[in-house]
Amino acid sequence: MLRSLSEVRRLALPIAALLLLMFACLVSSSGVAIAADEPQAEGREAMTVDKFSVVRVNARAVPDARSRSTLGPEREGTGIVIDSSGLILTIGYLIQEAQTVQISAADGRAVPASVIAYDYSTGFGLIRAVKAPAIKPISFGDSSALATREPVLIVGFDGVAPAFVVSRRQFAGYWEYMLDEAIFTAPATVNWQGAALINKEGKLLGVGSLAVGDALGARAQVPGNMFVPIDLLKPILGDLIAQGKASANPRPWLGVSTQELQGKMIVTRVSPESPAEHAGLVVGDIIVGVRGEQLQGQADFYRKLWASGDAGAEVILDVLKGAEIKKLGVKSIDRHQYLRPKAIY
């Protein structure tokens, strides 16, 4: 693991040089030259992002989408072509509650696409274009074998950025989301949503999810990006294509956003008309336990929450309201039931 910000800076120049060399090898292996500021030499083709199996994804949410307040009515990001039939992988929040979805390749022509699946446990989303783009699908790599300090490429719909892996660790989001091991890269790049994380063999290792300020973890504030490892998709891909969801029973969802403070969870947002709101949770409440068991942080909160049973189970929260701890029974649901329109596959 990288131990300090000074080490990141010390490694930046040599790794950047290595990344550029790797980039040249990648594109030249496809018979494509790197685009430069000066005109291309005669007979050489300029590099375009579709050479890396990516397209632009534009989605518009339904007018009454519950996610409009947090994700906005229109979303834009990257999709990754993973088979020749027009199946495209992206990050799921781009297509959440989508009314329309379009994809466009380097030629700029928009093609309609339909939503196939959004897996809330991993964050992956799948869409299918009505006409498959003329782009070679990418092959999956082995994200479990990805090591820290390894050079990678981050490929979005608008360009390619060199980076390196700086940490592999657990990620717990405030919106009832957790990965046991996410991939963190630096330096930070823009347009990370749905971007492809590619290794030196040109294989897909992950899908871009977030920009973060702590790519190295708590020990140093280094801006970077978080990626969902592609290995999480492999065991569920067939189910997502066939039935729009993984075969595992859905986890209980409450509709509460929290921030960790000394192991306790401060409620920062309660989704309107969610199980949490119906149970009486409000912003400023502090969740100190689940089923009488004290919490040891956000990850521990999620583990205890999801251990309460499948979606539909009643979750007993120990909540500090003012100066009094109260027990609140929250009737959980499957998150799919909360969104508009209801998923039809």
Residue 161 domain flag: yes
Alpha-carbon distance of 225 to 64, in angstroms, equals 31
Distance from CA of residue 272 to its chain's centroid?
24
Last residue of a domain, one of 184, 213, 248: 248
Last residue of a domain, one of 230, 248, 266: 248
Residue 222 has pLDDT above 60, yes or no: yes
What pTM was estimated for this model as a whole?
0.86
* Domain co-membership, 130 together with 210: yes
Alpha-carbon distance of 46 to 12, in angstroms, equals 27
Instruction: Report whether 24 contacts 33 (CB < 8 A).
Output: no
Residues 288-311 pLDDT 10s: 999 999 999 999 999 999 999 999
49 — pLDDT class (breaks 50, 70, 90) = low
Alpha-carbon distance of 302 to 317, in angstroms, equals 12
Q: Which two tokens stand for residue 134?
A: 């003329």
* Domain co-membership, 196 together with 95: yes
Q: Report the CATH number at residue 278.
A: 2.30.42.10
Last residue of a domain, one of 196, 220, 248: 248
* Domain co-membership, 62 together with 157: yes
Rg (CA), the chain: 21
* Domain co-membership, 273 together with 235: no
Residue 29 has pLDDT above 60, yes or no: no
Secondary structure letter of residue 43 according to DSSP: T
Instruction: Report whether 120 contacts 177 (CB < 8 A).
Output: yes
* Domain co-membership, 234 together with 299: no
Give me the pLDDT at residue 61, please: 96
Residue 217 domain flag: yes
* Domain co-membership, 219 together with 263: no
Query: What does the mean pLDDT of the chain come to?
Result: 87
Instruction: Report whether 288 contacts 325 (CB < 8 A).
Output: yes
Q: What are phi and psi of 306, to 5 degrees?
A: -75, -20
Picking from 198, 203, 252, the residue whose alpha carbon sits closest to that of residue 227 is: 198
User: Which domain, by its residues, includes 302?
Assistant: 256-338
12's CB contacts (< 8 A; 6+ apart) are: 187
Q: Is 235 exposed, middle or buried (0-12, 13-18, 19+ CB in 10 A)?
A: exposed
Strand residue runs (E) in 65-144? 74-81, 87-91, 98-104, 110-118, 124-129
Give me the pLDDT at residue 220, please: 81
5 — pLDDT class (breaks 50, 70, 90) = very low
307's CB contacts (< 8 A; 6+ apart) are: none
Looking at the structure of the chain, the number of domains it has is 2
Residue 234's Cβ-side half-sphere holds a number of Cα atoms within 13 Å equal to 12
Q: Which two tokens stand for residue 28?
A: 């030249």
Picking from 341, 299, 292, the residue whose alpha carbon sits closest to that of residue 316 is: 292
User: With the CA atoms of 211, 189, 92 and 153 taken in that order, what torsion angle do they form, in degrees rounded to the nearest 10?
Assistant: -130
* Domain co-membership, 10 together with 141: yes
Q: Report the CATH number at residue 96.
A: 2.40.10.120
Residue 168 has pLDDT above 60, yes or no: yes
Residue 345 domain flag: no
